[in-house]
Chains A and B, each alone.
Chain A
Amino acid sequence: MKNITDTVLIDTLIDITLLAFLAITAIAIIRMRNLFVIIMLFGIFSLHSAGLFVVMDAADVAFTEAAVGAGISTVLMLGTLALTRNHEEKVPSHHARLPLLVVFITGSALVYGTYDIPAFGDPHSPSQEYLKPHYIEEGIRETGVPNIVTAVLASYRGYDTLGEVTVIFTAGIGVMLLIGGRLTRSNRKDD
């Protein structure tokens, strides 16, 4: 019994620490003007989120967050930074009160909304009772894949994943159309 309370205590401590770091990083991002530092802080923010996902036992999500959020997007933003200036210009803020009010009201509405959300890990919440028991009980028999996340993503929800891959493909085409290499290539040949 003592061991269980100890684990809960440590889990809570880790949660509070990670969330506190998230808040600190977010505030630091708002206050900074040096874009390079901001990009690094974005990476740290993603890494903390990945840590939170691990605490919530969502290893697949944490993996994606660490690889994409902390890895690729940081590199892509650095690549963008190399094309622009290093500093964000200070915009004179006239009405700090109105945005603050809007943010405060939105925040309170969101916090109020959390009261209706089922508790974390509640086995009787609607999302747990509809299809999940089927995935957990029949998944290994129907697909033979021990990792339920993979079974759901690749087999049960294969359509969704096909859509996601198409979205990524479309994003790649979009970037190529906007800043593709064809232009620079022909310029280089002229040199």
Chain B
Amino acid sequence: MKHNLILRVIAKYLFPVIALFAFYVQFHGDYGPGGGFQAGVILSVAFIFYTLVFGLDTTEKILPSHVLRILASTGVLIYAGTGVVTMILGGNFLDYNLLSLVPVEGQHIGILVIELGVGITVSSVMLMIFFAFAGRGRP
């Protein structure tokens, strides 16, 4: 699809829109439908769409697979790390109330952080799987 001008132009304009929507879903999950999981999938869709139009090699220049592997584990680490932090603060595992002086505020921070972890892991794992399949078909 290297020579399809309309697709290439549209892809360049759509990429930021899809990514922005992903971030909206990520950080607006407290108030509307959505959350880290859906946001991660949508963000990976933006990159997959870009890859379909511009090729795997172009995307791998900005997002090499070793970076994806680190990101995938970082997300899980952020999530589990939040639990460990609350334990260090003297509470139960994943007891967000202790993250701030006001319990409700702590809940807000905790949910935001763990949703971020979910989003990072989901988007990078989806991309990892897609790159693995697409890389196989490479000549």
Contact = CB atoms under 8 A, between A and B. Distances in A.
Contact of B138 (A62, A146, A164, A184): A184
A168 B111 CA distance: 19
A142 B136 CA distance: 49
A50 B83 CA distance: 33
Contacts of B59: none
- Contact count band on A: 35 or more
Interface string A135-159: 0000001111111011101110011
Interface in A44-92: 59-60, 62-64, 67-68, 71-72, 75-76, 79-80, 82-83
A172 B38 contact: no
Main secondary structure of the interface of B (DSSP, over half): helix
B32 A147 contact: yes
B105 to A, nearest CB: 8
B91 interface: no
7 contacts: A63-B34, A67-B38, A72-B41, A82-B134, A143-B108, A147-B29, A179-B133
Interface of A: 59-60, 62-64, 67-68, 71-72, 75-76, 79-80, 82-83, 141-147, 149-151, 153-155, 158-159, 161-162, 164-166, 168-169, 171-172, 175-176, 179-181, 184, 188
